[in-house]
Amino acid sequence: MTISELETPALVIDRTIMMQNLAFMQQHADAWKVALRPHTKTHKTPEIARLQLDLGARGITVAKTGEAEVMVAHGIDDVFIANEIVGISKLQRIKTLCGSGALVSFGIDSVDALRQVEQVFTADTPAHVLIEVETGENRSGVTDKEQFLTLLRAIQGADNVCFDGIFSHEGHTYSAADGDAAMELFETAQNDTLAYVELARSLGITCKRVSIGSTPSLFIAALRGIPLQKGITEIRPGTYVFMDAGQANAIGTYEHCAASVLATVISKPTNGRVIADAGAKALTMQSRGKGICQTEGKGRILWDRPLEVTSVFDEHTIIIDRDFHDAVAIGDHIRIVPNHICPVVNLYDHMHIVENGNVVAVWTIAGRGKIT
């Protein structure tokens, strides 16, 4: 089957570009002498996780317990849930995964959550936790020395919990004014993360894993040849597998964008307006309003010159551009690079893997909808 035979909207992945992206990040992780534990919340697909592992990744990252269940069911036995897990039923699900022989670690940032963990797990099947530390994103994670030490001491005193290390996420680099500013934030975030390592050491505790991650900071650092700080042991980029319009704007090129949404021109009602069949249910309505990942419109159309989707309705793409209107005919296919690929993947049951214009595989997005 050729790409032109696909029904639209369709999620299309350029296999060559994807494999280049996977190799690029693995090569830099190897050069930095750190473990690459890719975040699979972007692709949600066991086949791609297996490709990452085959290239040298040391385990994978997921966002939710349901995603962990999918990956373990497909034979992946080292999974980190980079999120706080609260709720007895979720913890019991993780314990079941651990009982099957998989190593499933997860995040924690409070003594209250630790009490639930201690209640569910046992000495024979202990929980493996990493403390999340907040480094500027203003999201979850302990925010000061006292919180960290209190939680760490509580973990020390727990019978059914193993402390594996710490993790952070420098997502605030997305809002940096430019690449230089992003690298300054990245450097500070690493320093802040490593400061918690020293706090743990003051109690005689070693952080086996010191895990950081976000695609723009790591991709820019790799492109610029900037080393990671000594003491970082693991990186968790996710979007790098496909990239998207936001990431492309951050690094200054769309050549790494492996994912696009294939759409069909279905109407040309005025001299300047084109309608395609990929609306919010195929692209989302998301845009990034500031920083290095700032986007214009609702997606970037792959065309002769830069052109954005003007707006979207549920089922309709609106493109207002006279030149584009004159260049396309009803029935033509167009390809749109989403602003943020992660939620877009979650809209589709399958992704179509394409090489040289031919569909070479259709992979089920097995982690789609696994939000608990």
What pLDDT, in 10s, does the model give residues 238-289? 999 999 999 999 999 999 999 999 999 999 999 999 999 999 999 999 998 8
Using the 3D structure, point to which of 242, 265, 289 is the last residue of a domain: 242
Please check the confidence at residue 138 and state whether its pLDDT lies above 90.
no
Is 371 within a domain? no
Question: What confidence score (pLDDT) does residue 245 get?
Answer: 98
Q: Which of 136, 43, 41, 117 is nearest to 80 (CA)?
A: 41
Q: Are residues 140 and 255 in the same domain?
A: no
Residue 267 DSSP symbol? E
Give Cβ neighbours of residue 352 (< 8 Å, ≥ 6 apart): 3, 6, 10, 11, 12, 13, 262, 359, 361, 362
Q: Are residues 275 and 181 in the same domain?
A: no
When divided into structural domains, the chain yields a total of 2
Average pLDDT over residues 35-52: 99
Average pLDDT over residues 339-345: 98
Residue 290 DSSP symbol? S
CA 236 – CA 268 distance, rounded (Å): 44
Model pLDDT for residues 126-136, shown as the tens digit of each residue: 999 999 999 98
Is 293 within a domain? yes
Please check the confidence at residue 26 and state whether its pLDDT lies above 90.
yes
Question: What confidence score (pLDDT) does residue 171 get?
Answer: 86
CA 56 – CA 188 distance, rounded (Å): 28
CA 171 – CA 329 distance, rounded (Å): 41
Q: Are residues 237 and 252 in the same domain?
A: no
Q: Are residues 169 and 286 in the same domain?
A: no
Residue 321: which domain range?
A: 3-10+247-364
Q: Are residues 230 and 270 in the same domain?
A: no
Q: Are residues 176 and 256 in the same domain?
A: no
Q: Are residues 186 and 214 in the same domain?
A: yes
